[in-house]
Amino acid sequence: MPKLELGPAGFLPPSAASLGIFQPDKGSNMELVEGEHIPTEKAIEKAAHELLTRRNPTLFPGPMIVWGWNEETRHKAKLMLDLAKEIPGSNIIPMPDYRPIYPKIDPEAVINPCHPNLTIQHNKIHVCALIGVHCHFANITLKMIRANTNCYTQAWCAYDGHEDALLSLRDLDSEKLLLITAAIKKAKKSLTPWALTPEGKEELEEIRYNKERLKAQTKENATLFMGELHQGLDENQE
C-alpha cells in the first residue's frame, strides 16, 4: 500500500482510501500506521513514542467519551485521564458536539470538526489522538488536519479505525487503553519527553504565563478569535 505522508497535504487532498490504503481485518492483531499494516504491539509502541516526543501532545475526546452516557464510557473516560497524566505536558481539548461554531471559536477550549485546523494551529499541536469521536466526523476532522497542518494524527477507534489518521488503532476498549498507558510508561524510561526538553519547558512556561494573563481579562476587553467577523455580524443583526 502507498505510505500516508505527514501534512500539510494542501487544498483538497485525496482521501487515504482513494490512494488504496485500507484497514486490517478485525481480529488480525494488526493496526494501520502511515498506510502500512503492523502488529498491534508495535503500533501501540509507535503511538506512545509519538505522543512523548512531538510538540504539545493533545487528546481530543469526542461526545462518546465526554458525556459519560453509560458505565463503560465513564470507565473509559477515567482510563483516558489516567493515560493523559503519564504524558508530560499533555493537554485535553474536547470535541463536545459537531455543530459548527461560527463566527468565533475558543481554540483553547474546544475543537470542532468543521475547522479543526484552527485549534491545531493556535495551540501549535504537533501530535494528537482522537478518542470517542463518531466515525464520520472523525474522518472529516482527520482529513482537514492532514490538509492544513503538520500534526501527527492518531485515531483510537472503537470500531474499524480510520485510514486518514497517520496512526489508527481499531477496536479500542479498556484493555487496549491500558496497553497504551503501559507503553507510555515504558517508553519514558528510555527517552526524554518533549515537555522535559529545554524547548518544551520554555514553551510550556510561556503557555502557562499567557493563560494566567488571560484570566484577568473580561468579556469586554478580551480578544475574540475571528473577532472582526463576530463584530460585523453583530452590527448587521436584525
Return the CATH number at 188.
3.40.50
The answer to whether residue 216 sits within a structural domain is yes
DSSP calls for 4-23 = PPPS---SSPPPTGGGT--P
156 lies in a domain? yes
Helices (H) and strands (E) in the chain, counts: 8, 7
Instruction: Supply the pLDDT for residue 219.
Output: 63
- Assess if residue 77 is contained within a domain: yes
pLDDT number for residue 68: 85
Q: What is the structure's pLDDT at 10?
A: 87
Which structural domain, as residue segments, surrounds residue 81?
28-236
Q: What is the mean pLDDT of each run of 10 residues along the chain (238 residues)?
A: 89 89 95 97 98 98 92 94 97 94 85 93 97 95 94 97 97 97 98 97 93 73 54 51
Task: Examine residue 81 and state whether it is found in any structural domain, yes or no.
Answer: yes
Q: How far apart are CA 227 and CA 13, in angstroms?
A: 29
207 is a domain residue: yes
Could you tell me if residue 16 is inside a domain?
no
Residue showing cell 489516567: 82
The domain total for the chain is 1
Task: Tell me, yes or no, whether 22 lies in a domain.
Answer: no
| Residue 8 covered by a domain | no
